[in-house]
Amino acid sequence: MGLAERRAVKEFQDKSYPGLKADIEKAAGFPVPIEVSWDQLAKEDYATSYDEFWKKVYFQPLIAALKKITRDDIGRDAIKDGLKQITLTNTKGAYSAESAISFAGGELVIDHDPATNVDYIDDRTEHLIKILERAL
């Protein structure tokens, strides 16, 4: 990771991430642990797009899905009992919701290429809802 990427990661961590983390915790109804593999998300030559791309690929779908699932007591209880960790990474370059999102053993993993199919927010949101509701 070059200097531009390190700077962009640091800026995202300092400016955008705290609010997004708070939004996730508010939507989930509790402070769920979140592990972000910053080095893997930091795709070379995209540093100027991290703020937009990461929000659209990882955070917006996650927040929207959690809000939809926790809209009632049944959903809030299910999330609180079943969701133990959220992991955001890019280990396999997956570009579709079906291949990038998994939920097992209480861990929700979004393993998506951060610069591919960025605007498919609704697809990722719907898939998150589907796999979480099925498993909880």
Total domains in the chain come to 1
Residue 1: the pLDDT is: 87
Cβ partners under 8 Å of residue 79, min gap 6: 28, 29, 30, 66, 69, 70, 132, 136
What is the reported pTM?
A: 0.96
Give the residue numbers spanning the domain of 29.
Answer: 3-135
* Cβ-based neighbour number of residue 1 at 10 Å: 14
In the predicted model, residues of the chain with pLDDT beneath 70 are none
Q: What is the pLDDT of residues 95-118, one digit of tens each?
A: 999 999 999 999 999 999 999 999
